[in-house]
Structure 1
């Protein structure tokens, strides 16, 4: 009798079979590829900037003082932390950056939180208008309010130069601390990031169970105790999320401290980038470390055993606070004035600047209206005229329009790549939601958002210089894509988690290929969130300066060209560029709302 012997398969065959089975599922293959791509695109530039801190830079102080022309040295680290300029180049900018980030977070949470409470929990009037207009400062370029602040409050007596609008109208000159430094920088950035607090805190206020506060009222609990013991703990996750989103962004902000004359790590980097390139790279690393540290603190604060339940299922009622017949209009008028100054006046201000013979000089308000001019827009010849510096008017200036189409091209490419990658990250991570690899890929996709934009820009500057792609659209697109993937991935992940697996499984049973399932089922169902994932990177790229300013020449794209005209003293041109950018972004934002029905404030209380 012949006995057949069954041979046990080898471990290699078992391993290969498992790999083949794993990769036979499209979402697993996509997840593997994305994990590798995101790891390289995120980690490689960081490694480049770390190595740059040890490199010798020909013509820089490390080369001069060590006598080396190439290779590696510890001089940059030693000199920055222990040298004679330690206080000027490190300690003072570091302290200033921390103060700026702290007061920006405080201002954003207080301003945005109060507005969220009034919109969601009171009978405030004109909610729809106020809710829509409140998010404008975030939609507009970051430096917009900083420039408006200068034009409004600067004076010959205090800051030098021409008098601003306030002095021209009233003769009142604001003190120096109001015009330059920490206070205006923190105020401007707080207004810019307040929509974060409004969206996050407003969402919790809107869904909060009214019984929680009503029970405390029945027990005769004082109002201040109800606020600190009941209301505040429930909105704490939203406050911490706001701090996480705002802190690193404020710390890495360059345009606002630059325009309002405040020395931070970002402005100090730009000052040191030529003579002390290696030490400047260390400043960028410090900003990265601080951003990640805030993330770790946020995780530690929200991972404890505290319960932040706000929706219990027992009550969907929201108790509205009655502001009174006068109060509901009084608070509305206050916010109408505030939002006018932060959202509508900047557009009027930039438009006005382009018609002044001497931008920043508001003497025409005293009756010299005949001096207004169209030359900054329409000059097509005789560009040697005093003040034009050889530039054609905005409408005829090929440099401006080439830079405009350049930023549109970069924005479109960043949107296409970041939106697609973000959608695939959201899809593949939602299909492998309990996988450690999926959590890693999701974290790598979100990491660039936590890093200050300047640090990311510096990392790609070093990386691009080493790869020979500096001052190319390729480098701008790669850097922008990596930086903006978090917008698309978070939007896609949240929407994909809402889809039941049965929707796609029924198509698998019928033998429908993966690409058809994506284009015929998944994408059509969640098209609003997916389109938003494409449009957010596009609009972010249009108003980006901090990330791109180290990666290309000043005339390549519109945001860097704006800074160039400011340096040249051609403020009418920079104001015109600001106006063009704002109008373009508002049009794009409006189109997104009309095409997708999505709105940044929708569902909070403004709709």
Structure 2
């Protein structure tokens, strides 16, 4: 009996000791919250694939009532009469789009990273800062610019674009729409991934290996292929995983450039074949989980390249020549002008055209036809083509949606930043435990899942909780999706802190809250602040994640998509311009206040 009491007392003491440490309590609570908010929506989504939906194909074909279970959706999507059109062709297009986007991003971003870090290229600071603009701006920005530049009435229908109006150049359909422009646009958008990851390795690469090969009279091309490339292989693999996963769930780019992918097909099937649409969302989610497993496998089996002599203090830089260093810089200045500066100018011009997309005034020189009606109209009775809408400056719906976007962004940033910081703290304190590894993986999983599939899962989850269409569901899904930004930023900063700093405070009986706000947060304020600001800026330009979860005028990105579908391209261009300027202003403020910048540490200093 005494023995039993002693064992019970020991167990109670262990439990008390466990909960006495704040990091254990945080880890337990975060584990429960993240498991519910990440795994529960996935389970609801899987259940939706086998449930009968009233008024859709599965209920008509099976004769079952709403809510009953059937595998008809899976069978019909994979083997039915429309399987090729509904699944296999969009799946092939999605995979090809992701592969081509990876190739373009790695080639363009990797080449730029090499030139910035390993050569004597001129104007590095400007080029490094401007290169990441396409990634900061909304994903569909370059898609709309491409459409406005190359579309023509003879090939794509509608108004003539810039080239057709000015020079009567009519690009072929494959250039204007489909896999080619979609791959180019996504490749340029995600080239920043390659630049940051590959550039970071190039910048810190040990020069001893290359110098040793040079001493042995090895040709430069052999050194590059057999020494340099293997050293950056981990960064290339990480870029492939990130770009492939992000491209897989892209909706705006294929939507605007008329490419049928799994994302666009989901939207097309969601009304008449809701169950099959959910199957498509699950397929995209499987790709995301596969990417996570590949990433873990690659990091566990990665080769290491070391030198006996240690780290070289200098990095040998290739000489581009007196002319080459200016010529190549000029080429990149021109390219980045069209990918980073021209989109802002293009959207501004679109809002002053009487017929958006029609640039014929440039050819005739009739600048008097330009109009401010899209901005300043306060009474639609005397205006044509506005479909009853007031000008942007007077349109209450537009500014309400803008305020809604800001509200969601602020709430997502506060929630994701707070939870991510706590996860980073708890994981760093329990880094060797399995529970910490689990929480860390669950927190990072939504980042690798396609945004559309996460949005679909929360669409079904929100209906089950009766919070569909509210700001709450937008904040919830945004928080879960953006926690990885904050958790990784926090974890990396917390791992740099010595445990002695907090132990000294514990000895003096300083409470945990005071330790956090008085010691830990002030020391790592830049990294922790980035964990709040990155979700904020990302949420400002998010469309794919939110587009199924709310009505069209809840937030600005969905309202912009509505105006574009209505053919009011001047409104969508003006709203896009407002978003871009807002994001760039906040990005500049972040850099000024925290000193943090996406390109710093690569070549931007």
TM over 0.5: yes
* Aligned equivalents of 1:6, 1:558: Cα separation in 2: 68
> In the alignment, is the contact (CA less than 8 A) between 2:208 and 2:307 conserved in 1?
no
In the other structure, the counterpart of 1:278 is: 275
Confirm or deny that 1:23 pairs with 2:10: no
Range that drifts further, 11-20 or 279-288: 11-20
RMSD after superposition: 1.3
Matched, 1:147 2:144: yes
Distance in 1 separating the partners of 2:307 and 2:544? 38
Q: 2:578 corresponds to which residue?
A: 580
Task: Pick which of 224-233 and 482-491 moved more.
Answer: 224-233
Deviation at 1:127, TM superposition (A): 0.2
Q: Report what 1:123 is aligned to.
A: 120
Partner of 1:166: 163
Match of 1:414 among 412, 415, 430: 412
Deviations 1:258-286 (A, max 9, x none): 00000100000000000000000000110
Answer with 151-160 or 346-355: which moved more: 151-160
Residue 137 of structure 1: how far off its partner (Å): 0.5
Check 1:251–1:531 CA distance in 2 against 1; reply closer, same or farther (3 A cut).
same
User: Which SS does the other structure have where 1:204 is aligned?
Assistant: helix
- Gap regions ≥5 residues in structure 2: none
Find the counterpart in structure 2 of residue 12 from structure 1.
8
Residue 524 (structure 2) aligns with? 526
- The answer as to whether partners of 1:247 and 1:291 remain within 8 angstroms in 2 is no
Shift of 1:384: 5.8
Shift of 1:15: 2.3
CA–CA distance in structure 1, aligned partners of residues 563 and 203 of structure 2: 45
Residue 51 (structure 1) aligned with residue 47 (structure 2) = yes
Q: Give how far 1:314 is off.
A: 3.3
CA contact (8 A) 1:142 1:255 kept: yes
SS at match of 1:388: coil
Q: CA deviation at 1:225?
A: 2.0
Provide the C-alpha distance between the structure 2 equivalents of 1:311 and 1:599, rounded to a whole number of angstroms.
34
1:465 CA displacement:
1.2
Three-state SS of the structure 2 residue aligned to 1:324 is: coil
Q: How far apart are 1:9 and its partner, in Å?
A: 4.4
3-state DSSP of counterpart to 2:323: helix
Q: For residues 300 and 474 of structure 1, do their structure 2 counterparts lie closer, same or farther at Cα, with a shift above 3 Å needed? A: same
- In the aligned structure 2, how far is the partner of 1:126 from the partner of 1:133? 11
Aligned partner of 2:129 in structure 1 is 132
Alignment size in residue pairs? 603
One of 400, 403, 423 as aligned partner of 1:402:
400
**C-alpha displacement at 1:310, in angstroms?**
8.4
Cα shift readout 1:404-423 (whole Å, capped 9, x = no counterpart): 00000000000000000000
CA contact (8 A) 1:248 1:287 kept: no
Per-residue CA deviation, residues 349-395 of structure 1 (Å, 9 max, x unaligned), is 00000000010010110211000001000000134621010000000
How far 1:306 sits from its partner (Å)? Answer: 2.0
The answer to whether the Cα contact below 8 Å between 1:383 and 1:389 also exists between their aligned partners in 2 is no
Instruction: Give the gaps of 5 or more residues in structure 1.
Output: none
Q: CA deviation at 1:222?
A: 2.3
User: What's the TM-score, normalizing by structure 2?
Assistant: 0.98
Partner SS, residue 380 of structure 2:
coil
SS of the aligned residue for 2:318 comes to coil
Picking from 440, 453, 460, the partner of 1:455 is 453
Shift in Å, 1:301: 3.1
Question: Structure 1 residues 34 and 311, CA, compared in 2 at 3 Å: closer, same or farther?
Answer: farther
Determine the C-alpha separation between the residues in 1 that align with 2:307 and 2:43: 43
Partner of 2:31: 35
Is this contact kept in 1: 2:292–2:445, CA < 8 A? no
Alpha-carbon offset, residue 7 of structure 1: 4.7
Q: Is the 8 A contact 1:208 1:311 kept in 2?
A: no
Q: Is 1:386 the counterpart of 2:408 in the alignment?
A: no
Is the counterpart of residue 194 in structure 1 residue 188 in structure 2?
no
Cα distance in structure 1, aligned partners of 2:226 and 2:289: 30
8 Å Cα contact 2:178-2:258 kept in structure 1: yes
Does residue 263 of the first structure (1) align with residue 260 of the second (2)? yes
Match of 1:237 among 211, 234, 238: 234
Is the Cα–Cα contact under 8 Å of residues 209 and 311 in structure 1 kept in the other structure? no
Pairing partner for 1:254 from 222, 236, 251? 251
TM-score (norm 1): 0.98
SS in structure 2 of the partner of residue 325 of structure 1 = coil
Say if 1:305 and 1:343 are closer, same or farther in 2 by CA, change over 3 A: closer
- SS of 1:515's partner is helix
Check conservation: 1:208, 1:310, Cα contact below 8 A: no
1:223–1:264 Cα change, 3 Å:
same
